[in-house]
Amino acid sequence: MTLLILCLLLLPHAALPSLLGWVQSPGYPRGYSPYANLSWSRCAPQGHTLSLKIIHLDLEDSHDCENDIFSNGNLLSILCGKRTFEELQYDVNPLLISAPGGCLSLSFHSDYSNVKRHTGFRGFYTVQDYDECDDPDNQCTQFCHNFIGGYRCSCRHGYHLDTDKHTCTVSCTEDLSGLKKGVISSPSWPGPYAENAHCLYTLSVEDHLQLELHFGDGFDVDQNTDGQCIDSVVTSSGTLGPYCGRTPPSSPLLTHSNHVQIRFTSDGFGSNNGFSVSFKTRAKVCPGVVTAQSSAAPRKAEYQQGETVTVTCELGYNVDTYEQTLSMSEYETTCQKSGVWSPIYSCEPVNCGIPNIPDDGILQVADSDNPSTMFGDEIEFKCSSKYYTLQGEDTYICNGSGLWVSAGGNTEMPKCFEVCGKPETDGSSAGRILGGKKAKLGEIPWQLLIRSPRGGASLINDRWAVTAAHVVDGLGQTSLRLFGGLVEGKKLQTSDVVVMDAEKIIIHPNYDKLSATNFDNDIALIRFTSRVELGPNLLPICLPEANGGLKENEQGTVSGWGITERDSSMVLSRVLQYAHIAGYSPRECQKTPQYNNIPMVFTNNMFCAGAEGMDSCKGDSGGPLVLPMLGTGNKNNRGPYRLEGIVSWGANCEVKQYKGYYTKVENYVDWIKETIERVEKEERMDE
């Protein structure tokens, strides 16, 4: 099998000496031998082409190139077999010409066998000038002149060759600075304007004047059928125009500027007459629109020098002096000689900023770390968990005065309040402190344990607890620690147990700690060092309403880790206990009130309650008595649970009087609320 492969390498090649010579297969014309090889390559100098003419071809014919000629990338032709001179002349040779400055290559191989002798091939190559002017891509806009090894462009009279050496253009740029009036027209006006013109006419007058343009009749600038400009007139760096077609721009054309450039450009085609424009000057005026997003009063299309107007920003925009946004929407400005307003301030949208809410993270802006806070933007508030409810409206809009306002007109931010008296597990499980039952975790989530001195307390919000004054009155400077979220009073290390350290203990001012016979006003408030995280096992109890109270024979629930009757030794309970007890009449309460066998005073700030075999005991002190009876909070709208009583005093449980005395919380609601509010306010001011 024998192959002759001819390649055209189109790479331009640096000028090689132009060669004229022969190329033939090895052994031509006697015939080539097996395994004969030939590689040949020549390049044309710049501006020339190389061509190869095969005059004889007789190779072994074989499968892969049977009678075939085909192109493949640089491989222009693959030839084998035998060709007549005419076939070579008409089919093969016209293809064997390089690009200007390009190369031609050829390779020939024979294989191991020849069935019969073949003479091979022979051809000659020549180099000739490339006629660029024949090439429609030569880019001469007017005349093209070919010469050996290159070409050049030239222009008609009146044109000159541009720096690109191909484009013929005209000289039409003029600087008319200082002239207060005159006429400008397109090259050759009123005759057809030159092709490929790039004219720039510069006009410039004193500061307080503006240039006024009047386009004359006969305006004719090349335009396509869609109305787009092919050639164009543009003034003042593009602010006016482009103009084209046969209708002149309406006159007078005010430029509002003392510097104007008129640019005229044409392409290489068409025959249009162009334009003529006269210019003169007039005093500058100020534009009717001072700044975006505003209106001016009195309202005019334009203003004369010296006129003063009031600029009013649109609703939701304020004056911005570029140094700061002012909280005003109006300013006065005066039209200057130079035709500009002074001062000139912009109107910028009002920004309400991030709403001013406490940084404790309980009240939050919903769904956004980075809310948009500009005029008209809306934000929505939510509370950090379901253990809080939002009081107030949840959606606020940034209004035109830069204030967040709710649909109802509120500018005060909403607040999150603890959900009180709604345990997630409502103790319907079983009915017993002394004669009590074991509470399950979460059944009495407001119950707190004070281990030392032993007592109970009730959580009333996420930072405050209430207890009996006598529990904490002996503390002096020693610190107080409370535990919540637990029922097992001895397992204080488990992870669910919440530890709360007291920061402030406020004993009711009328509590007389020195009196041995009077527990009147036995109530105290405890503020923790920080907010506690509310959860299913730690939730506040509600404060009672006026005239609630435990009525005679009404059942409430008392809870604590106090003494139980489980065994005769009356030990402290391991698990939180609760018992349902009923109110006694004041008369019953007046009967033999005693404590440690001492007769006591019964006041209107107390009530007493109990049930056969059930009572609160030592160690339960400070703990809650709630209404309604545990387990019935969800029934008949009786809930939420309210703290009606604080375990205060009673005869020793061993006496088995089953009558305990409680601080009547209802009488202290105002004191509790006022105290908390006062302290929280002081704390906020300290920050």
* CB of 334 closer than 8 Å to CB of 285: no
The torsion angles phi and psi of 681, rounded to 5 degrees, stand at -65, -45
Q: Report the residue number, 265 or 401, with the smaller CB distance to ligand NAG.
A: 401
By CB under 5 A, is residue 588 in contact with Ca ion?
Answer: no
> Cβ 10 to ligand NAG, closest distance in Å?
26
Q: How far is the CB of 112 from ligand NAG (least distance, A)?
A: 10
CB of 149 to Ca ion, least distance (A): 6
615 marked as binding residue: no
* Tokens representing residue 597 in the block: 């066998």
Residue 222 near which of ligand NAG, Ca ion, none (CB within 5-8 Å, type-dependent): Ca ion
- The single residue among 270, 376, 431, 631 that binds Ca ion, judged by CB under 5 A, is 270
- Which one of 18, 146, 351, 594 is in contact with Ca ion (CB under 5 A)? 146
Residue 79: count of CB within 10 angstroms of its CB: 24
Q: Is 470 a catalytic residue?
A: yes
Q: What is the nearest approach in angstroms of ligand NAG to the Cβ of residue 7?
A: 17
| Residue nearest ligand NAG, Cβ-based | 400
Burial of 80 (0-12, 13-18, 19+ CB in 10 A): buried
Site for Ca ion in 215-234 (CB under 5 A): 222, 231
Position 74 contacts Ca ion (CB under 5 A): no
* Total residue count of the chain as it appears in this document: 687
Q: Are 31 and 117 in contact (CB under 8 A)?
A: yes
405 binds, among Ca ion, ligand NAG, none (CB under 5 to 8 A by kind): ligand NAG
- Which of 58, 60, 129, 565 touches Ca ion by CB under 5 A? 129
The gap from C-alpha 378 to its chain's centroid, in whole angstroms, comes to 15
Q: Which residues contact 203 (CB under 8 A, 6 or more apart)?
A: 176, 177, 179, 211, 259, 260, 261, 262, 279
Regarding beta strands 378-383 and 363-365, do their DSSP bridges make them parallel or antiparallel, or are they unpaired? antiparallel
267 binds Ca ion, rule: CB under 5 A: yes
Q: Where are the alpha helices (DSSP H) in 52-186?
A: 85-87
Let me know if 186 is a catalytic residue. no
Residue 267 contact, options ligand NAG, Ca ion, none, Cβ 5-8 Å cut-off depending on partner type:
Ca ion
Nearer Cβ to ligand NAG, position 25 or 557?
Answer: 25
The residue among 69 and 374 lying less far from ligand NAG, judged by its C-beta, is 374
CA 9 to chain centre: 55
Catalytic residue among 256, 470, 508, 580: 470
C-beta neighbour count of 184 within 10 angstroms: 20
Q: What's the CA angle centered on 224, arms 218 and 229, to 5 degrees? A: 70
Minimum CB separation of residue 60 from ligand NAG in Å reads 16
For residue 275, the minimal CB distance to Ca ion (Å) is 13
354 binds, among Ca ion, ligand NAG, none (CB under 5 to 8 A by kind): none
Residue number with CB closer to ligand NAG (108 or 607) = 108
Contact in structure between 629 and 567 (CB atoms under 8 Å): no
The answer to whether 71 is a known catalytic residue is no
Q: Is 226 annotated as a binding residue?
A: no
**For residues 311 and 333, is the Cβ–Cβ distance under 8 A?**
yes
Does 612 sit near Ca ion (CB under 5 A)?
no
Catalytically annotated residue among 58, 220, 222, 522? 522
Contacts of 31 (CB under 8 A, 6+ apart): 114, 117, 118, 119, 120
Please tell me whether residue 135 binds Ca ion under the rule CB under 5 A.
no
What the block records as the tokens of 556 is 């409430």
Which residue, 138 or 146, has its beta carbon nearer to Ca ion?
146
Q: CA–CA distance from 211 to each of 70, 281, 340 (Å)?
A: 69, 5, 15
Which CB, 50 or 286, lies closer to Ca ion? Answer: 50
Q: How far is the CB of 332 from ligand NAG (least distance, A)?
A: 21
Chain residues that interact with ligand NAG, rule: CB under 6 A: 35-37, 399-401, 403, 405, 409, 411
Within 13 Å and on the Cβ side, how many CA atoms surround 282? 12
60 is in an annotated binding site: yes
Nearest CB to Ca ion, comparing residues 46 and 338: 46
Question: What is the C-alpha to C-alpha distance for residues 507 and 520, in angstroms, rounded to an integer?
Answer: 12
Q: Which residues are annotated as a binding site for Ca(2+)?
A: 60, 68, 111, 113, 129, 132, 146, 150, 231, 267
Residues within the interface to Ca ion (CB under 5 A)? 129, 146, 222, 231, 267, 269-270
Catalytic residues, which ones? 470, 522, 621
